[in-house]
Structure 1
Amino acid sequence: MTSHKEEYLADKLEDEKVDAERASLTLEEEENSPIPEVAAIVSNKDEPNLPVMTFRYWVMGILFACLLSFFNQFFWFRTHPMTLSTLVIQLISYPFGRFMARVLPEGPLNPGPFNIKEHVLVALTANCAGGIAYAVDITVIQKVFYEQDFGFLANFFLILTTQTLGFGMAGVLRRYLVYPAAMIWPANLVQVAMFNTLHKEEELLPGQWSRFKFFCVATLCMFIYQWIPGFFFPVLSSIAWVCWIDPKNPVLSQVGGAQGLGVGAISLNWNNIVSYLGSPLVVPWWAQVNIALGFFLIAWVMVPIAYYTNLWDAQRFPILTAELFRTDGDTYDVDNVLRDGTLYKEGYANEGPLRIATFFALTYGIGFAGLSSMITHTWLYHRHKLVAQWKQSRTQSEDIHHKLMQAYPEVPDWWYAALFVGMTAISVFTCEYYGYMPWWAVFLAILLAVIFALPVGLIQALTNQQPGLNIITEYVIGYILPGEPIPNVTFKTLGYISMTQAMLFTSDLKLGHYMKVPPRAMFWAQLMGTTIAGLINLITANWLLNTQPDICTKKSKEFKCHFANTFYSASVIWGVIAPNLMFGPTSIYNAINYFFLIGFVLPIPFYFIKRAYPNSWLDFVHIPVLLAATGMMPPAKAYHYTNWLALGFAFQFFARRYHSEWHLRFTYVLSAAFDSGVAFMGLLSFFVFGIRGVSFPAWWGNPDQDICRLDSYPLMQPKGGLPDPWGASIQDKYVFSKPYVPPAPHE
């Protein structure tokens, strides 16, 4: 038997060994990440003793989570929506934190200077609060379109569970999407660069601006400028000069109008450009090339061919819209086919089959192809990496950043498991008790999210683009529960958003990984931010729904809720009418189902061609990203894409290549500043003018009617002679099939 002294010495030697190992994690200077972009931006050093969850963090984390979730939910309802980037909070919180460090008394409330890890944790909390809770859409369409209200508690439970279930998945995904060096998550590098910029003393040349000064000036300039296209001169938001050549020509309006294919349409409104796709200043250029290629092929090649060859009676309907129609082109009356919230077969027989714009139908087909291509692409390009990581996940660290993170206690797996099981139980109770959908549907929706989480995560970790599960989830439940709109959208939300939230949480874990934030602090910060955001989202939505007349309808000028209207259309297509009637053997849209096969096969030839011709431009072709390009259309318009891509070229290609120093210093700061200036202007204009119903007087730069709105109406209307908005006659060469409707007021 060994003596107590020997045991003590052995324990002491073991402790000293552990301390030595941890000390060695400060790393030799030459060891770094194998990824050049990461090595250039992310520090290979750490300071494990920096305080993180301080009083300053709690104040700023709660405050900014509340503000960001309110701002983004408010702008989500707006006719021209926008999202306030987390970069804004990242910038604003820096001087706020330094101010608190200066004025608070030294001690537990103020443990030294405001440090970078506190700052990262504030941003992580804001990241979780910055998105809009998708389940709010269910509340909106229930109240506005279906005249239902399950109550605040039911709404909140649904939001809470759908927003946090993905957190449990992230606990498993971190081994494959956080620890490996190859999983870079490009969007995080933007935030890392910003953190390092703010907390590192800049060596400025005489007369050179700091990044923070640049941010303040750019924010002020955008705030002042945004009043021009956003209030005084709205025509600048969509300069459709092609349509203006001959506004009476419906084809020119369809091709060049802002509401149509947007060929040549120019927008000088930052809010319009980033409304649906986010900032083009932060997306890698190669990913933008794939988006551009997908957009041009789908929107400017496939759609015009389909429309002008009258595929699926395309010319009876507008060229680009999410609205619903009868076979004769009239608006589809959903109330006629519903009884007690389910499909009424006699009413459906009277109303007839549902028709949608050919563009809308094609985007569903492209979505099918994108989903199946994601499976093939993941298997072809990443199967070996996945197998290797599976073997190494518990025994080997991949790079220096993972080694440095060994200094901190990891979050136990049972924390994630308990959260996942608990939220699943609450979800089952909520859906069954309040009647959202049957209990078994909860498990099926979660199963779909679990299956697709890893392949989707691989794509997002490498490309910053995320294919969605919204189509496949509504497709599956539409066949199982036909004629049930609310169960359909609930199933879609649970399956789709659980996966999306898993991606958000995993991305944030990678940001914390880069910045060496203790994992347990990240766990609680993410959970807090998500819970606060869900509550604020719901309170804000209820406030607007109860105070704004005609909200989410065509009668409202400021709050048309394009996202909610598209969500409602989807609930009718997949829930009320259901896939069997909409895309089944008897439907004219049946061919859409073949897109599943097309997408599954499409990556295969590109894979073998790339192997045959390595180190060529083919290395940048990414089929799932290409097919996901038009995923936001509708409600996004074509000119949103073209202007977004133009700015992306200017900054991510031209500025990066020819003015690289300026690009590295200021591009991401400029993006955050423009977001901030637009947000401040939008809120101020609403609370000063909008809430009182005050609008700028009509003039040619702010017309009552958009002269290019004919693009929203079909070619086939009653023939000839009917007056158009300019008092002339529409030319006889166009064949029409229903009464002409004047354009709606300018949006």
Structure 2
Amino acid sequence: MADKQEFSADKEFIDEKFDIERQSVVLEEEENSPIPEVAAIVSNKDDPTIPVMTFRYYLMAVVFACILSFFNQFFWFRTHPMTISTLVIQLLSYPFGKFLARVLPAGRLNPGPFNIKEHVLVALTANCAGGVAYAVDITVIQRVWYDQDYGFLANLFLILTTQMLGYGMAGVLRRYLVYPAAMIWPANLVQVALFNTLHKDEDLLPGQWSRFKFFCIATVAMFLYQWIPGFLFPVLSSIAWVCWINPKNHILSTIGGDRGLGVGAISLDWNNIVSFLGSPLIVPWWAQVNIAMGFFLIAWVMVPIAYFTNLWEAQRFPILTAKLFTTEGDTFDTKYVLEKGTINMVKYEEQGPLRIATFFALTYGIGFAGLSSMITHTWLYHRHKLVAQWKQSRTQSEDIHHKLMQAYPEVPDWWYGALFVIMTAIALFTCEYYKYMPWWAVLLAILIAVVFALPVGLIQALTNQQPGLNIITEYVIGYILPGEPIPNVTFKTLGYISMAQAMLFTSDLKLGHYMKVPPKAMFWAQLLGTFIAGLVNLLTANWLLGSQEGICTDKNKHFQCPSANTFFSASVIWGVIAPNLMFGPSSIYNAINYFFLIGFVLPIPFYYLKKAFPNTWMDFIHIPVLLAATGMMPPAQAYHYTNWLAVGFAFQFFARRYHPEWHLRFTYVLSAAFDSGVAFMVLASFFIFTIREKDMVKWWGNPAAPICRLDSYPLISPKSGKVDPWAPDPSAEDAPMYVFPKAYYASPDARP
């Protein structure tokens, strides 16, 4: 039987995470889920009379959705971004709901105690509001780099359609990805366990803290501590001691600098540690091991070899950056080669071919390999299970949870169909009327999302891994519409995010399925959260774009928008220059295309090695996760990874192995508390100091400029005509002997 087959490493994580919960499971009914993980955590009982969409729900859902969407959009612009997870709302909404149940007058506004289904629905709404709308990036790059502004209404229509169109697909997907027992969606089991924990009385020993008390104390402690690295003593955010030995030495800056390979760099700033990878406290150890292997092999083996052998003229550019350059190492002037929104080939040839940092080029290659490896890995490891699940989804879908859900009216198919048609129509109107891209490109992007939605959903429901379509979509439209950046990023957003949103909606439907929340209530709750998020995201983005001078550039210390800079660079690479010029036969980066083949073949030997040596460390190697390890670099820096992995080791390995009871009880709560404490501190600092243009006084713990400056060194020796990594700092007496790119000076006139 499929349910008796051995699960992947996701199963091992869930097994260890919930050992204590399993031991206390007592079933009152004989029938239960055929999946052991689900049977151990999800209740096989239900009370259909529990009220759900109450006044308390609407109040908390709107308030928390607004707060979460504002916070995450605000932090997205920060130089060191962070994300407040839904886990924070899941924890905060519990005492708030209890409080409303106590103070509101009894009756329709307050129908009894705050219940678990109301709580789930609040979390579902917040989950839909928690992510930053991907289409906001389009608005940002248009206004900051392309000098375009289509207006608030056009931006809002684009955001809402790209965020909601995928929800229409969920109406079809639910039959195959929600109803069948075999579709477990492992990430949901963590939330189910937390809901059950909060809504049952804790058996506390004398003097033992409750989870909520622990959360409050840890939040206050982090709020107070974060003022030290976040405001008073910023050097603690990145202690690059290797580089500090001699900040003017290019080799030391490259190896140990916080903008280099980050060897030995230490961060005592929680905001810095979780900026790009999220909290290391909630990522299973097996996944962290794969991320660590991928990071070390790619960032500390492949990249240094490529850089110091001068692959693709690597030493003409900083080792790790998403910025764009000319062949001489100067900043690539995108506006110069653009004419009426498309590329002028005469000006492009005049300026010369686009160059990017070698690591940035390798990042795209690793992305190609990761996508193709997902196909091979899924076929080798999961093909039998996927086929069995496909058959089961058509014939044997009624486990106990599906039977219990029959007590609630299902959402009519025409609701989903109408939503899909309406969003498609608005997308066609918006893209054609406001000239985002042609109408046929809208239909092609939606077709790609529709075709990939079910296979991607089958993979994610089992393995918890979601293959991204962003590279494929921009690759396809880059060949069809070369030289046009805004159509490129719009096509990517519509094709990629529609599928990703369909997965989010379907995953939430499965969570509601586990918790026995009425389907119609889930439908409206998810739409409510998504609409609030889109509106608040756009309002927040417009506010910051209008109020922060030099936003998303080096001129603004606090809001340099690393993700938007990478998004802009991608728009130039895939849109302005286009794949044929960038990675075609005439390009020096043509070899990047071979990574598709490398990724496709790479899982095969590891699959057979695992069969030859079972029950060894080979069982934990997951090639797609390993290849995706450096997917956030850039904008993430190497030291973000090393510190993230160190903290992850402390909690997911050491604490879990040697203090398992504490780990099971408090690790997730501590993660949420630290995120909350940092969020409150950053907002307080912004409204008290930043918005009033006040800053901490400059001292050695808060220097005016980075101590290690990789972008301030000469490159080419006049004697050899080659890159000289040992060349002196530009301030040195013999600096004029060297040739410097204009990009390394405040103005072209300063160039020797």
What is the TM-score when the length of structure 1 is the normalising length? 0.92
Contact 1:342 1:485 in 2 (8 A): yes
SS in structure 1 of the partner of residue 744 of structure 2: coil
Gaps of 5+ in 2: 1-25, 748-752
Change (3 A) 1:382 1:462: same
SS in structure 2 of the partner of residue 226 of structure 1: helix
Listed one character per residue, the Cα deviations across residues 505-542 of structure 1 (whole Å, up to 9, x for unaligned) are 12212221222212221111111100110011111111
Listed one character per residue, the Cα deviations across residues 89-144 of structure 1 (whole Å, up to 9, x for unaligned) are 11111111111111111111111000011001000000000000110111111111
2:177 pairs with 1:174: no
SS in structure 2 of the partner of residue 705 of structure 1: coil
Change (3 A) 1:207 1:194: same
Q: Which residue of 2 aligns with 1:80?
A: 80
* 1:121 alignment partner AA: L
2:257 pairs with 1:257: yes
Q: Which residue of 2 aligns with 1:8?
A: none
Contact 2:291 2:629 in 1 (8 A): yes
Q: Which residue of 1 aligns with 2:236?
A: 236
Report the alpha carbon displacement of residue 65 of structure 1 after superposing the two structures with TM. 0.8
Contact 1:722 1:729 in 2 (8 A): no
Change (3 A) 1:183 1:250: farther
- Distance, in Å, in 2 between the alignment partners of 1:306 and 1:665 is 45
Listed one character per residue, the Cα deviations across residues 665-702 of structure 1 (whole Å, up to 9, x for unaligned) are 10000000001000000001000000011000011111
Change (3 A) 1:241 1:186: farther
2:53 pairs with 1:48: no
- Distance, in Å, in 2 between the alignment partners of 1:404 and 1:736 is 74
Q: Which residue of 2 aligns with 1:281?
A: 281
Q: Which residue of 2 aligns with 1:70?
A: 70
Contact 1:295 1:629 in 2 (8 A): yes
Moved more, 122-131 or 539-548: 539-548
Q: Which residue of 1 aligns with 2:124?
A: 124
* 1:589 alignment partner AA: Y
Q: Which residue of 2 aligns with 1:15?
A: none
Contact 1:211 1:665 in 2 (8 A): yes
Change (3 A) 1:34 1:392: closer
Change (3 A) 1:538 1:640: same
Q: Which residue of 2 aligns with 1:741?
A: 744
Percent identity reads 82
Question: Where in structure 2 are the equivalents of 1:119-268 lying within 5 Å?
Answer: 119-268=119-268
Moved more, 448-457 or 649-658: 448-457
Moved more, 93-102 or 378-387: 378-387
- Distance, in Å, in 1 between the alignment partners of 2:56 and 2:46 is 21
Change (3 A) 1:236 1:292: same
2:358 pairs with 1:355: no
Counterpart pick for 1:724 among 715, 722, 729: 729
Contact 1:27 1:45 in 2 (8 A): no
- Distance, in Å, in 2 between the alignment partners of 1:503 and 1:529 is 16
Report the alpha carbon displacement of residue 724 of structure 1 after superposing the two structures with TM. 3.2
Report the alpha carbon displacement of residue 272 of structure 1 after superposing the two structures with TM. 0.8
Q: Which residue of 2 aligns with 1:638?
A: 638
* 2:205 alignment partner AA: L
Question: Where in structure 2 are the equivalents of 1:302-701 lying within 5 Å?
Answer: 302-397=302-397, 399-701=399-701
- Count of aligned pairs between the two proteins: 717
SS in structure 2 of the partner of residue 275 of structure 1: coil
- Distance, in Å, in 2 between the alignment partners of 1:714 and 1:198 is 59
What is the TM-score when the length of structure 2 is the normalising length? 0.91
Listed one character per residue, the Cα deviations across residues 278-308 of structure 1 (whole Å, up to 9, x for unaligned) are 1111111111111111111111111111111
Listed one character per residue, the Cα deviations across residues 228-264 of structure 1 (whole Å, up to 9, x for unaligned) are 0000011111111121223222111111111111111
- Distance, in Å, in 1 between the alignment partners of 2:497 and 2:542 is 21
Contact 2:76 2:561 in 1 (8 A): yes
- Distance, in Å, in 2 between the alignment partners of 1:391 and 1:37 is 21
Change (3 A) 1:714 1:54: farther
Report the alpha carbon displacement of residue 457 of structure 1 after superposing the two structures with TM. 3.2
* 1:123 alignment partner AA: A
- Distance, in Å, in 2 between the alignment partners of 1:604 and 1:38 is 31
Gaps of 5+ in 1: 1-25
Report the alpha carbon displacement of residue 84 of structure 1 after superposing the two structures with TM. 1.0
Contact 1:174 1:506 in 2 (8 A): yes
- Distance, in Å, in 1 between the alignment partners of 2:43 and 2:101 is 24
- Distance, in Å, in 1 between the alignment partners of 2:280 and 2:40 is 22
* 1:724 alignment partner AA: D
- Distance, in Å, in 2 between the alignment partners of 1:244 and 1:349 is 41
Contact 2:714 2:738 in 1 (8 A): no
Contact 1:710 1:743 in 2 (8 A): no
Report the alpha carbon displacement of residue 399 of structure 1 after superposing the two structures with TM. 4.3
- Distance, in Å, in 1 between the alignment partners of 2:717 and 2:406 is 69
Report the alpha carbon displacement of residue 498 of structure 1 after superposing the two structures with TM. 0.9
Report the alpha carbon displacement of residue 316 of structure 1 after superposing the two structures with TM. 0.5
Contact 1:255 1:711 in 2 (8 A): no
Report the alpha carbon displacement of residue 181 of structure 1 after superposing the two structures with TM. 4.2
SS in structure 1 of the partner of residue 207 of structure 2: coil
- Distance, in Å, in 1 between the alignment partners of 2:194 and 2:295 is 31
Listed one character per residue, the Cα deviations across residues 159-201 of structure 1 (whole Å, up to 9, x for unaligned) are 0010011112223333443344454434323322221222111
Listed one character per residue, the Cα deviations across residues 538-564 of structure 1 (whole Å, up to 9, x for unaligned) are 111111111111111111111111111
Change (3 A) 1:739 1:545: closer
- Distance, in Å, in 1 between the alignment partners of 2:389 and 2:517 is 23
Contact 1:176 1:386 in 2 (8 A): no
- Distance, in Å, in 2 between the alignment partners of 1:541 and 1:593 is 36
* 1:84 alignment partner AA: I
Report the alpha carbon displacement of residue 459 of structure 1 after superposing the two structures with TM. 4.2
Listed one character per residue, the Cα deviations across residues 381-416 of structure 1 (whole Å, up to 9, x for unaligned) are 333333333333243236443343333233233322
Report the alpha carbon displacement of residue 662 of structure 1 after superposing the two structures with TM. 0.6
Report the alpha carbon displacement of residue 371 of structure 1 after superposing the two structures with TM. 1.1
* 1:222 alignment partner AA: M
SS in structure 2 of the partner of residue 393 of structure 1: helix
* 2:502 alignment partner AA: A
Report the alpha carbon displacement of residue 712 of structure 1 after superposing the two structures with TM. 7.7
- Distance, in Å, in 2 between the alignment partners of 1:37 and 1:650 is 26
Q: Which residue of 2 aligns with 1:16?
A: none
Moved more, 182-191 or 698-707: 182-191
- Distance, in Å, in 1 between the alignment partners of 2:418 and 2:470 is 26
Change (3 A) 1:96 1:489: same
Change (3 A) 1:253 1:145: same
